[in-house]
Structure 1
């Protein structure tokens, strides 16, 4: 068989579930799927800069091997974000020029990477991200900017911007991402794909970490279909040995929630960013209004939800202390791994300034910050006990910005910190509460840019989000929407 067995344009836009079915039925071999994906990456990447580390030879060898795992996604090509989910022997830089210069390579698979392999995925490369995943745009000095396939003059979002751009453009159907303050959901919104941040500890950060950045880090994927998002969670969810805590187990496989009736849900909506007095950009308000009408037409109880607890000041008051301490720790951990001292000057300007500030944060201040976030999270989570089943908001407070506007050397570092904080206003809250949240591509503005909406459920209730997202996908399909720059 060759790619001609399935028309090339059709193969590029099949989701991972459909591609795996082709292999299962013998229509295409794993190697043919991987060859086709490599061809698309080679054709498109020069215009997008989404893939920074090709792993083509290794991928072809794995796809043609009798040892390729016979999992539910056997032979499906995949890309890994170059942060946390490391693969044995492959370059791992986190967009740090210090690691790039030293060609740092991961000594082992992370537990999540091993689970992806067991499911049958074949890693074809590593995707671009901002340095240490700290920005809302993907423009690292180490690798250069990734461009948005809907408008190559604009940002694909961050920090999983390379993964989102690759999926949106049709390079692959699924790519890994992680989310510390919105880093799956924001690029999903900017690039018009599906991005689920699962419940905290739904997937493991082992073996290296129990938690990461004070418990705000969540791992999953970016996809083009809800069923892929659900099915990949089935093969990656669950604690690993020694994890400090775990999410409550699901009642049944997540793929069984796809197409299941969600029932009549209480859905509250809000379009003013937490802590702000003015609403989000008019395009983002319009996206929420559009989705609210869809949900009302599907029979849900849809009403404005002030969600006043989101406006409590502790979240953003504490943010500079928490993230500056994290950057100081990142420098320290990499100094230990490399066996040589790294300084703030080894980082980009914003990260270096934060790391310098973080070196003065005391242990007591860090613990106080964590406690403040926990108190704040309890107040927010109570909304799901009494008032709503799902909260609807914009994912981003504005459309994808032009490239260069938030680049790491575009302005004073502290000005850039303030801008980044503004962009994470709708997403960071649910990293702190640990609740599941998904961005869906249900709206485009007058310029044709995707404007995602965020749906948030109670702790542990990915099942509710998957049912509702699947219902919306059926009511307002997005699978036929393809960006101008694509396969």
Structure 2
């Protein structure tokens, strides 16, 4: 890359475009220390792959791991508020389980059915009842042999990019509890980052794996549409945007999960992935998308973090050059319309999908605002769906004709404090804040392509409020292998910051 491109990456964002409640200059939000549970117990600082190996060799039992995880969850959750439905008294362990991740404690996001437990979707609009059976993805998730300990919190129906509520405690970021953990898989990300469990379920309909991974310093891969069992809600939608996966603290845990899930079910229309175990040998052409296709400016701390990733990739022999995704200005507006359609369907169909006493009047301010936005534009729905599909496919195909991989930020600016994206913020203001924040992730959901969020090295962590910043790599359909190989190389080159060392 030329020097002038490097300079452009570090360009500052005007002060009037930055969120008013961003970190103070010294990066110490209210002086609150990180919240974590790392200690000298059966879990230690191991990742899921290491723990599964210890169970296989008999050095530790699945029961010991589960008990340690429950103790850790109970230690941190009073401050993080990340657990929706605990299952500490009913979990089952099996030291003879054959799954590749057998014995590893984990949790499931509370928008996915686990038989016998309620699924609340983060909403106060209904009282959830026990699910009659596991969702198909739950069966795939549990086929890995992991020990289920409960369900994690999400914002209402996963619509928000921060796990906050109108009348309840928000989920807090363990790196700095005054900050957002992202959303919608914020509960899972908070517990994994805090060391309560090494890996947890997440799903992504607009960035909901990658956003909390970026906010909490984790690995978060949104698989290709169809790589894992179809999400029950997503497959009913006009455009299936939802992919299930995990958030983890190591690349090999995410790779191991996908390989294990593939043993349960593999899409015959997709090339097999198998177990990716380290960096690849290919030298790749990488397009750097520093500015969002929606026009939202990228702030200086995020630019610097992603620039450091670009520099690391160049040092590994890859070619990196600036690129602008050819999306027209209607993509963002159309995505908001589709987002509104989802809120409309949740409200109008709540009595049939969730509970006959579903009360749409109790949905939060964001959900109600999105519904109103959709109702004003309802007549444009067929055109919106056509444009979304065409724009995402054409822009992405054009990019992947020139490049093997795209590198971009996950989010347009660093993680905000809690309250910035609260559903109590007036709707139009909240929507504008979300548009200025969630600017890079939605195209992969519409297009169905895979993308991974990785912790980006921050030269000045205080510039980001001390919370992590994420960089995103995106690839062609079915090419999770390339993303994981690059992720392995980046992790080896510059290991992520550890919360227990802060």
* TM-score for the superposition, normalised by structure 2: 0.86
Query: How far 1:81 moved relative to its partner?
Result: 1.1
Take 2:39 and 2:174, find their aligned partners in 1: how far apart are those partners?
A: 22
| Counterparts in 2 of 1:396 and 1:10: CA distance versus 1, 3 Å | farther
Give per-residue Cα distances to partners, 1:174-225, cap 9 Å, x unaligned.
0101111111101111100000011112112355652547211111000011
| Counterparts in 2 of 1:337 and 1:189: CA distance versus 1, 3 Å | closer
Matched with 2:410 is 395
Structure 1, unaligned stretches of length 5 or more? 1-5
Matched with 1:465 is 483
Take 1:471 and 1:143, find their aligned partners in 2: how far apart are those partners?
A: 41
SS in 2 for 1:178: strand
Mean Cα deviation higher: 448-457 or 383-392: 383-392
Query: How far 1:414 moved relative to its partner?
Result: 2.1
Query: How far 1:239 moved relative to its partner?
Result: 9.8
1:301 aligned to 2:329?
no
| Counterparts in 2 of 1:474 and 1:305: CA distance versus 1, 3 Å | same
SS in 1 for 2:309: helix
Take 1:151 and 1:223, find their aligned partners in 2: how far apart are those partners?
A: 19
1:121 aligned to 2:146?
yes
Take 2:338 and 2:234, find their aligned partners in 1: how far apart are those partners?
A: 18
1:236 paired residue among 257, 261, 264: 261
8 Å Cα contact 2:231-2:242 kept in structure 1 = no
Give per-residue Cα distances to partners, 1:362-393, cap 9 Å, x unaligned.
4x633322111111022212234431111111
1:190 paired residue among 197, 215, 237: 215
8 Å Cα contact 1:250-1:463 kept in structure 2 = no
* Greater relative contact order, per chain length (Cα 8 Å cut-off, separation 6+): 2
Matched with 1:11 is 43
| Counterparts in 2 of 1:169 and 1:118: CA distance versus 1, 3 Å | same
Matched with 2:277 is 258
Give per-residue Cα distances to partners, 1:131-160, cap 9 Å, x unaligned.
110111111236421111111110011111
Task: Report matched runs for 1:373-392 at 5 Å.
Answer: 373-392=388-407
Structure 2, unaligned stretches of length 5 or more? 1-37
Query: How far 1:163 moved relative to its partner?
Result: 0.8
8 Å Cα contact 2:214-2:454 kept in structure 1 = yes
8 Å Cα contact 2:219-2:249 kept in structure 1 = yes
Mean Cα deviation higher: 383-392 or 86-95: 383-392
* TM-score for the superposition, normalised by structure 1: 0.89
| Counterparts in 2 of 1:271 and 1:337: CA distance versus 1, 3 Å | closer
Take 2:83 and 2:124, find their aligned partners in 1: how far apart are those partners?
A: 17
Query: How far 1:294 moved relative to its partner?
Result: 0.4
Matched with 1:154 is 179
Matched with 1:179 is 204
| Counterparts in 2 of 1:166 and 1:251: CA distance versus 1, 3 Å | same
| Counterparts in 2 of 1:263 and 1:415: CA distance versus 1, 3 Å | same
SS in 2 for 1:27: coil
Task: Report matched runs for 1:225-374 at 5 Å.
Answer: 225-237=250-262, 248-253=269-274, 255=275, 257-276=276-295, 279-307=297-325, 309=326, 311-337=327-353, 340=356, 342-359=358-375, 362=378, 365-374=380-389
Give per-residue Cα distances to partners, 1:438-461, cap 9 Å, x unaligned.
010122343232111001111111
Matched with 2:445 is 431
Take 1:258 and 1:475, find their aligned partners in 2: how far apart are those partners?
A: 15
Query: How far 1:325 moved relative to its partner?
Result: 1.4
Matched with 2:493 is 475
**Number of aligned residue pairs:** 461
8 Å Cα contact 1:290-1:443 kept in structure 2 = yes
Give per-residue Cα distances to partners, 1:252-298, cap 9 Å, x unaligned.
40x2x22142410001112112121x640101100111011101100
1:92 aligned to 2:119?
yes
8 Å Cα contact 2:291-2:324 kept in structure 1 = no
2:83 paired residue among 35, 39, 51: 51
Aligned CA RMSD, in angstroms, stands at 2.4
Take 1:429 and 1:10, find their aligned partners in 2: how far apart are those partners?
A: 41
Take 1:483 and 1:141, find their aligned partners in 2: how far apart are those partners?
A: 31
Mean Cα deviation higher: 135-144 or 170-179: 135-144
